[in-house]
Amino acid sequence: MRVVIIGNGVAGITCAMTVRKGDPAAEITVISGETEYFFSRTALMYSYMDQLTRRDLEPYERSEYRRQNIQLVKGWMVDCDTQTQHVVLDDGQRIPYDKLVYAVGAKANIFPWKGIDNVKDGLVHFVSMQDLESCERLTPSTQRAVVIGGGLIGIELVECLRHHGVNVTFLVREPYYWPMALGEEEATFVAEEIRHHGVDLRLREEMTEVEVDSSGRVAFVHTNTGERIPCQMLGITAGVRPNIDLLKQFSRPPELGRGIVVNEYLEAPQPNVYAAGDCAEIHMPGQERPLTELIWYSAKRQGAHVARNILGDRQVYTPPTFFNSSKFFEIEYTTVGEVETLPEGTPTLYRKMPGQPISQRVTFNDRQEVLGFNMLGSRWNHELLEDWVNEGRTLDYVKQNLHQAQYDVEFGQVKLDRMEEQIIPLKKFQ
Ligand SMILES: Cc1cc2nc3c(=O)[nH]c(=O)nc-3n(C[C@H](O)[C@H](O)[C@H](O)COP(=O)(O)OP(=O)(O)OC[C@H]3O[C@@H](n4cnc5c(N)ncnc54)[C@H](O)[C@@H]3O)c2cc1C
């Protein structure tokens, strides 16, 4: 069996390694245009801040692919012949497949802002290895950068720029930082943390135009308040979307919606074609809206799921209980289950340590069963929190046992009995 996987991110590599485990004889080829070897995209910032080398970003020894007999090909897939079952690469190579897996990931959103088409240099995203290289090239000649888009990737880029001493104006269109994930209460102290690190954070402010200098490099950003901010770098981190633009030009593209359309088994309508990870748009029977999960753990899970399907164990994909963790400068962040996705007015237990950027928010339903957690300022065992959501534990149970989910860290655990708590309804950003 010839398995060809497009994309060497966590979905593609997990798929390859899971197929190998189940089929020692399969011919497995992983094709990627970005880098030859799989790297941890979530750790890009640590390389930008010189804390990890490029090689440190690679989760596996390079010899591991040889050991597992997984062939790595560096190149871009530019077409696919689904009748003869071949993929075509940018250097003209035609590679035959019996099973084809799209694991092509996501790319940065960009919108038609005024002046954006004139930019020849100074515009960066923070998604790919090539983005990191652009950031590193531009940093030494940048005194001020403007970063737009107030999510996780934006704050990581801002932190890296501050690390290199660059002045940063961070434009967030919404009235508070990251309302998709944080309540206003948490966002308020995260904003203080961002400003504490010398960032010129502007809320309710957005870019309206970009101006370039005579060489085409970013020179000014105009905002909706009428300001013209001088800058040499513009970071656009306004979310990501499935990476399907190149696929639209194929002679026989897979069915495309927001991502690559697959059914509940992660199978595309074309025979022997699958999709996994950030690029997959999953249509579950009975669900009105398709599912796209643009997070690491889901990409890994979907990659393994497709592999099992290829190996003959055809199961319906079940999305995991949502989990994510990150950092806002020094503030640790763990989220599990449903929080800001719940309807306005959903009751939440909100606990805050007076005077410190530490909080816990627990959502629950009218049977008092917990639905999700947003934990800031300390470290948590997400697996236990997930168990509590999956087991439908009550709010009382969770309050009594919360200490068990706290990680022991260098400076001790948060004194949970010192937190102030109240029940407040979830407020949705309008
Ligand atoms: C800065 C940053 C921080 C993040 N932090 C977190 C986090 O804290 N937690 C979390 O859960 N998630 C995080 N994410 C998201 C997470 O990294 C992704 O969900 C995950 O990497 C998706 O994996 P994937 O395998 O689906 O795709 P990718 O890792 O994007 O891999 C797809 C690969 O396919 C290649 N490719 C695309 N098209 C072609 C083609 N035509 N031919 C050949 N190759 C092609 C791409 O170049 C890429 O190398 C972060 C992302 C970024 C950018």
DSSP string of 129-146?
A: HHHHHHHHHHGGG-SEEE
Q: Does any ligand 1 atom lie closer than 6 A to the CB of residue 10?
A: yes
- pLDDT at residue 407, as a whole number: 85
Cα(8)–Cα(276) distance, integer angstroms: 11
Report if residue 258 sits inside a domain: yes
Q: Which residues pair with 73 in a beta bridge?
A: 31
Report if residue 316 sits inside a domain: no
Cα(266)–Cα(280) distance, integer angstroms: 8
Report if residue 9 sits inside a domain: yes
Phi and psi based region of residue 165 (left: phi greater than 0; alpha: psi -120 to 50; beta: remaining): left
Cα(97)–Cα(19) distance, integer angstroms: 14
100 shares a domain with 249:
yes
Cα(289)–Cα(282) distance, integer angstroms: 9
Last residue of a domain, one of 175, 210, 238: 238
Report if residue 95 sits inside a domain: yes
**392: CA distance to ligand 1 center in Å?**
32
295 shares a domain with 251:
yes
- pLDDT at residue 430, as a whole number: 62
15 shares a domain with 100:
yes
Number of domains into which the chain is organized? 3
**41: CA distance to ligand 1 center in Å?**
6
17 shares a domain with 79:
yes
**395: CA distance to ligand 1 center in Å?**
36
Report if residue 28 sits inside a domain: yes
- pLDDT at residue 63, as a whole number: 97
**pTM to 2 decimal places:** 0.94
Report if residue 430 sits inside a domain: no
Q: How many CA atoms lie within 13 A of 253 on its CB side?
A: 14
87 shares a domain with 140:
no
Cα(144)–Cα(2) distance, integer angstroms: 50
246 shares a domain with 234:
no
The closest residue, in CA terms, to atom 5 on ligand 1 is 42
Cα(158)–Cα(169) distance, integer angstroms: 9
- pLDDT at residue 361, as a whole number: 97
Q: Chunked in runs of 10, what are the mean pLDDT values of the chain (430 residues)?
A: 98 98 98 97 97 97 98 96 93 97 96 96 97 98 95 96 98 93 94 97 96 98 97 96 93 93 97 97 94 94 98 95 93 95 92 94 96 95 96 96 84 81 86
399 shares a domain with 345:
yes
Last residue of a domain, one of 310, 336, 354: 310
Alpha helices in 311-370 (DSSP H): none
- pLDDT at residue 107, as a whole number: 96
- Tell me if 86 sits within 8 A of 78, measured CB to CB: no
Last residue of a domain, one of 183, 203, 238: 238
Helix (H, G, I), strand (E, B) or coil at 389: helix
Q: Which CATH number characterizes residue 370's domain? A: 3.30.390.30
Which atom of ligand 1 sits closest to the CA of residue 44? Answer: 1
Report if residue 356 sits inside a domain: yes
28 shares a domain with 6:
yes
Residue found under tokens 């250097």: 91
Q: Which CATH number characterizes residue 22's domain? A: 3.50.50.60
**104: CA distance to ligand 1 center in Å?**
8
- pLDDT at residue 414, as a whole number: 83
Q: Angle at CA 336, nearest 5°, toward 331 and 340?
A: 85
Stretch (H or E) spanning 327: strand 323-328
Q: How far is CA 226 from the centre of its chain?
A: 32
Phi, psi values for residue 341, rounded to 5° = -80, -10
Query: 352 lies in which domain range?
Result: 323-425
301 shares a domain with 283:
yes
- pLDDT at residue 168, as a whole number: 98
Q: How far is CA 75 from the centre of its chain?
A: 23
Q: Does any ligand 1 atom lie closer than 6 A to the CB of residue 158?
A: no
- pLDDT at residue 266, as a whole number: 98
- Tell me if 178 sits within 8 A of 376, measured CB to CB: no
231 shares a domain with 142:
yes
247 shares a domain with 234:
no
Task: Extract the tokens encoding 390.
Answer: 């999956």
Cα(356)–Cα(361) distance, integer angstroms: 15
388 shares a domain with 284:
no
Report if residue 59 sits inside a domain: yes
